[in-house]
A and B are shown apart, each in its own frame.
Chain A
């Protein structure tokens, strides 16, 4: 018997899908604030481009590879071009299949945008578009199939509520590979490369948290307990991470930094993502403390290396996601989710299943991204000359500035055609 469509579930999932889509422009704001002024637009554009590109690849083939059938490595092509994705309920849910597809599309989008954080301020825009298209299929769709599309990780019992495997570890370890292949910015290690707008970073982080309620709250695909637990845990864990981060900041430098606070919100949200529907609220708060330490350490350590993984995708997403995935193995509680117990509640095998995912997903994401960018780099230059990097990606690739003054700018033509009058200085 196929279950009926449930109006309440469908209404919530429509809202949740819109919430998750908001996360990608929010990420654009977060990332754009962290880069230098001359790369503001380019950085935001990479996130915006991910929406365009990943929606198309998802509809054409990504969704099908992730969610059609239960082959161990990839799904089938039965849903290519959204064939058979209709108003009928998706198996195991009470929402229309087409809505399920749209909700999952927003995950593919934000994950693709996340990887951009590793290569901003230097990668050329067109190669990035090609990379985003291929990555969304070759890495994201494959990992999504493994973790929750019926693939081998799900088959052998790995738990991943809202995307610790494909979204968080997938983006984090791909980011490391991308940073290594594309190489460091020319000024890296020579100049102080400071965030140009801390307010964007804070506003972006706030909007990301807001969107995350759809991300985790929607991953139960209904308004029942799993979704509600996921929603509440998304409130608890980041709050605890935030305060823990404050304490670490205070111990380290006797000041509480704003950029650090914004990062802490992301780390908390990421850590609870895989485990949101599996932990009791109490353990979700403990996770907020536990996840802070490895991420804080990774962010403090990375700038001392030659690895210019520019916006710390690995530390904030890869490491936090990995922590969350492992945490399930210890503290999942069938009393709360009706699914499984972790080691502490009597099932040691669950930890083994989680640990396997924590090894295999990073390895695949890193390896595949490395190969993909090496091949792409052989076909087209991934970076422009050093001079273009010095001028900034905004002017070179978009012909625009984020903060034009208008002083000294002369109108040469409008949409109506070339202006025949004597050129005059444009009012600011």
Chain B
């Protein structure tokens, strides 16, 4: 069991969701965040005041998956999120100690497998 964290461009968020869906990965949460990954700063101008927007809008996906889904999830995040420019984001894979489905009390593998999916 792993927690896959993917940080991607907001404009690619929909492509990522599509890729995850096609890879049969369900159970996704998504958060809007601010971050900086070494890309060029964006300069904006408001009535003569120029500001450098150091932190860019990003979207963070968190996907808890059983071991056999780790690779498909990473592939989907890469495929959906890639533009080839600096600032495409990163993926972190973190070991997951326990998972509990609140409705049924199922734990671990059962908890991160979508309802109705083949186990």
Interface residues of A (CB under 8 A from B): 38, 187, 190-191, 387, 390-392, 395, 399-401, 404, 407-415, 423, 426
Contacts and interface: CB of A to CB of B under 8 A. Distances in A.
Contact of A411 (B9, B49, B55, B56): B49
Contacts of B34: 407-408
Interface residues of B, number: 22
Q: With a 10 A CB-CB cut-off, give which of A38, A408, A415 has the most chain B CB atoms.
A: A408
Interface string B72-95: 000000000001010000000000
19 contacts: A190-B14, A387-B83, A390-B9, A390-B12, A392-B11, A400-B44, A400-B46, A404-B44, A408-B34, A408-B36, A408-B53, A409-B51, A409-B54, A410-B53, A411-B52, A412-B52, A414-B49, A414-B50, A415-B48
A403 to B, nearest CB: 11
B52 A399 contact: no
Contacts of A412: 43, 50-52
Given A410-B52, A412-B51, A414-B48, 5 more contacts: A387-B85, A404-B46, A408-B36, A409-B52, A412-B50
A426 B51 contact: yes
Nearest to A406: B51
Chain B interface main SS type? strand
Nearest to B85: A387
B31 interface: no
A131 to B, nearest CB: 25
Nearest to A387: B83
Interface string B39-64: 00011111011111111100000000
A411 B43 contact: no
A413 B44 CA distance: 11
B50 A413 contact: yes
Nearest to B35: A408
B68 to A, nearest CB: 29
Nearest to A407: B34
A410 B54 contact: yes
B51 A410 contact: yes
Interface in B1-32: 9, 11-12, 14
Given A407-B55, A408-B53, A408-B55, A399 B48 contact: no
Contacts of A391: 11
Nearest to A401: B44
A226 B102 CA distance: 70
A28 B14 CA distance: 28
Contacts of B44: 395, 399-401, 404, 409
B79 to A, nearest CB: 15
Nearest to A416: B48
Contacts of B42: 395
Contacts of B36: 408
A415 B83 CA distance: 36
A394 to B, nearest CB: 10
Contacts of A187: 14
A390 B48 contact: no
Given A387-B83, A390-B12, A391-B11, A408 B48 contact: no
A120 B9 CA distance: 22
A159 to B, nearest CB: 48
A417 to B, nearest CB: 11
Nearest to A391: B11
A400 B49 contact: no
Contacts of A399: 43-45
A322 B45 CA distance: 44
Nearest to A409: B51
Nearest to B41: A410
Contacts of A426: 51
A391 B12 CA distance: 9
Contacts of B49: 411, 413-415
Given A390-B11, A390-B12, A391-B11, A409 B45 contact: no
Contacts of A409: 44, 51-54
Contacts of B55: 407-408
Given A410-B54, A411-B51, A400 B83 contact: no
